[in-house]
Structure 1
Amino acid sequence: MTAGRTGVVDAHHHVWDLSVRDQDWIAGPELAPLRRNFTVEDLAPEARAAGVSRGVLVQTVTVAQETPEFLALAESSDLIGAVVGWTDLTRPDVADELARLRELPGGRHLKGIRHQVQGEPDPEWLLREDVRRGLAAVAEAGLAYDLVVLPHQLPACARAAERHPDLTFVLDHLGKPSIATGEPEPWATGVRALAALPNTVCKLSGMVTEADPRGWSVGDLAPYADTVLEAFGPGRLMFGSDWPVCTLVASYAEVVDIAARLTGKLGESEREEIFAGTATRVYGLRLGSTVPEARGPAASAAGNP
């Protein structure tokens, strides 16, 4: 698609270099296209062509060295406006570690922390006492906390957000609803309960790779987008591409176009919030805002991580 004025914020993308570090989650033939390097230099022209002027670089692996690397990368890039990094929330000196990260080159770009909660066997991992101490330290540092979870973990997310009212919780990928099966529950109930708490926001991201790998349309995604639009409202919703994971099924331009279509019935100011305003506030970005313009009917795609 083509975009209007520049200024769209991509609130969720990744990069990795397999010569520096393996991405052990990229396993199996269905993810084989991701087993190569994806760099800021690869992303930049696609982002600019889609009207994106700022992005949020999000952690991919639970390796301490990744966050300092991402911070240094953000310092040298005019595209990366913020970093959501990783650190072990259960370490007793987590507050000191967060302070250390912010003193590193590019440390001013650290705006959030994320852990792969979706991989934790305990559905109430976020409610553990040692994790709660870590979340309190994240809040004290003035950072956001990104939630990458599965639908059955949403109740714990809501309880954590209730227990930490001074911490902004950012739900990645809508909480990964089962779009492929077309079954909204228990996701819908869980996401509405989370959205009822004022210190929560949601990323309109990751939907294309949760859709039916045999083929899908924008109409298949619409009920899930509508649910979070109603639950969170545009002022607590932000667009994210989930590049390069999205490339399994759709190009960067197509993902932006799909988001434009899913929000096409909203007013201009509401779409400004989703495509720039919310992410600008949550991640402390400095830029103007705009919204992308939908092009034509988006094609169905296949594939799923």
Structure 2
Amino acid sequence: MTSSQVTSSQAAGGNYLAVRPDWLARGVEEALEPELPIIDAHHHLWDRPNWRYLFDEYRADIAASGHTIMASVFMQCQAMYRADAPAAMRVVGETEFVNGVAAMSASGQYGPRQLCAGIVGHADLCLGDQVACVLEAHIAAAPGRFRGIRHITVWDADRSLMNPLSAGPPGLLGDSTFRAGFARLASLGLVFDAWLFHPQIDELTALARAFPRTTIVLDHLGGIVGIGAYRDQREDIFAAWSRAIRELAACDNVCVKLGGLGMRINGFGFETRDVPPSSETLATAWRPYIETCIEAFGAQRCMFESNFPVDKGSYGYGTVWNAFKRLTRHASQSDRMNLFSATAARVYGLAPSG
């Protein structure tokens, strides 16, 4: 087994699909429009038992894809926490780690890409006002790169859906202490990345309305669930999800990430095929969701994401960007610029690409 392989989803607590390099090798595609500049708005780096995905592994996926990834945004994933810090401050270790990776990339020694140019970390917003010192420590650990917080709030009555590493209690977005911590973000210029399941989108809408000065980014199109208690209900779920998405889009302070549809919870079953899905297959399956979000939010509030390495259990890095390019083939040049780079650059304070 190589350092980049995962032989069983049990290595990740059973909540991630297994990454199978031999299987992925059967579906490699040539990059479409390789000159199009891209900011990957959402990826992770970690070193977990039987699953290493660090700077070299991410760079290898980018290089093999043939796509022009100019910059990226790192998303918190409980990587490299401090071992000897007070509990609330341990999370700052992740920012220190990623800032080092960003410095390596910024050196130019590894090419022109600015990987991890934006960093989103974690702080326990349930600390209320006391979270301020954690937020300030993150900023100090990555000055000019630290852009926001993700406090995962996924919850469902079907416990089989949730990752025990990040499962939250119900109703957290409406909790007064959580909101006291959330209120600290805007004054520091920090973004809030929201990861939840689609039945919780209305809770996020209420939060966005209560804090119109705080920029909120909805991850993974709002966590569309298609397994467990939601299996075989795709039409009904789409109807409920699309209604909630349109109501959320009425909040001008909210943007959405388009991607993250290769996860176990989505239930598309790409991983069950004899060969990986092609970009045409992905585009066909995702079109209703992607087009609904772009129509509701506008391209200037949408951004594409790889969600690697999580989605690597379903398809290759090059394939997912080809799918996004197919989905936007008839969009205007300005809309495509927003979707592939400009929205992420604005939201996360990155230098424009291209």
TM-score, with structure 2 as normaliser: 0.73
- Counterpart position of 1:54: 71
- Counterpart position of 2:319: 254
Q: What displacement does 1:233 show?
A: 0.9
State the secondary structure of the residue aligned to 2:323.
helix
Q: Is the 8 A contact 1:47 1:53 kept in 2?
A: no
Q: In the TM superposition, what are the counterparts of 1:64-75 in structure 2 within 5 Å?
A: 64=91, 65-75=93-103
- Counterpart position of 1:5: 35
- Counterpart position of 1:167: 214
Q: What displacement does 1:50 show?
A: 1.3
Q: What displacement does 1:252 show?
A: 0.3
Q: Is the 8 A contact 1:12 1:241 kept in 2?
A: yes
* Greater Cα offset, 280-289 or 249-258: 280-289
1:284 aligns with 2:340: no
Q: What displacement does 1:207 show?
A: 1.6
- Which amino acid in 2 is paired with 1:158? T
Q: Is the 8 A contact 1:208 1:249 kept in 2?
A: yes
1:141 aligns with 2:188: yes
Cα RMSD between the aligned structures?
1.9
Q: Which of 4, 15, 19 is residue 45 of structure 2 equivalent to?
A: 15
- Which amino acid in 1 is paired with 2:146? L
- Counterpart position of 2:124: 88
- Counterpart position of 1:205: 259
Q: Is the 8 A contact 2:183 2:211 kept in 1?
A: yes
Q: Is the 8 A contact 2:262 2:311 kept in 1?
A: yes
Q: What displacement does 1:211 show?
A: 4.6
- Counterpart position of 2:310: 245
State the secondary structure of the residue aligned to 1:208.
coil
Q: What displacement does 1:237 show?
A: 0.3
Q: Which of 287, 297, 311 is residue 232 of structure 1 equivalent to?
A: 297
Distance (whole Å) between structure 1 residues aligned to residue 327 and residue 225 of structure 2: 18
State the secondary structure of the residue aligned to 1:95.
helix
- Counterpart position of 1:41: 56
Distance (whole Å) between structure 2 residues aligned to residue 232 and residue 138 of structure 1: 23
Q: What displacement does 1:46 show?
A: 2.8
Unaligned runs of 5+ in 1: 23-34, 290-305
Percent identity over the alignment? 30
- Which amino acid in 2 is paired with 1:108? G
Q: What displacement does 1:90 show?
A: 1.8
Distance (whole Å) between structure 2 residues aligned to residue 17 and residue 133 of structure 1: 33
Distance (whole Å) between structure 2 residues aligned to residue 108 and residue 172 of structure 1: 23
Q: Is the 8 A contact 1:211 1:221 kept in 2?
A: no
Q: What displacement does 1:16 show?
A: 0.2
Q: What displacement does 1:179 show?
A: 5.8
Unaligned runs of 5+ in 2: 1-29, 82-90, 107-114, 155-166
Q: Is the 8 A contact 2:221 2:258 kept in 1?
A: yes
- Pick the structure with greater CA Rg: 2
- Which amino acid in 1 is paired with 2:333? E
- Counterpart position of 2:4: none
User: Aligned residues, how many?
Assistant: 272
Q: Is the 8 A contact 1:238 1:274 kept in 2?
A: yes
State the secondary structure of the residue aligned to 1:242.
coil
- Counterpart position of 1:29: none
